[in-house]
Amino acid sequence: MEIPTIVLPPVQQIDTVEIPLPRADVPYYIPMVVPPSDLRDAEGAKPVETTEVPPAPRLNLPPLPPIPIPSSEVLVTAAAAAVTAVAATTLTQPIIESIKKKLQKFLQGKINKWKENQKQKKDSLQSSKKM
């Protein structure tokens, strides 16, 4: 009795590619210095004098309570916004009206044409039934 055998070819050496290890640039932050909770003024330090902000001017009208007047920055911003809004509305209104009239005329023409076509179809159906 014969025992089967397997003949293997000789082993070939395979060159491998070297892959470098990955690197990552990890972000870092500059640490923030937080003062201790029991912080006190240094001995001999003078306190900083704070200037008081004057109260906002008020408009006094006898039947109403005093009304505070806003600062000039707020008034300038509000006035610029109001002028811009009025100018934009005034300039665009004639353009929009013109477009509206043309569009309305165009749509009305299309509706009239559709009605005529419907009437012609109805008349042609009635005339074909009479024959």
Residue-wise pLDDT for 74-86, tens only, equals 889 999 999 999 9
Q: How far is CA 24 from CA 17, 19, 21, in A?
A: 22, 15, 10
Given pLDDT bands bounded at 50, 70 and 90, which one contains residue 118? very high
**Residue 56 neighbours by CB under 8 Å, 6+ apart:** 68, 69, 70, 71
**Count of C-beta atoms within a 10 Å radius of residue 12:** 5
Please give the Cα distance from 67 to 60 (Å, whole number). Answer: 7
Q: Which two structure tokens, joined as six digits, stand for 58?
A: 């008020």
**Res 26 pLDDT > 80:** yes
**Res 41 pLDDT > 80:** no
Q: What is the pTM of this model?
A: 0.39
Q: Which two structure tokens, joined as six digits, stand for 47?
A: 């306190």
> What digits encode the pLDDT tens for the residues 83-116?
999 999 999 999 999 999 999 999 999 999 999 9
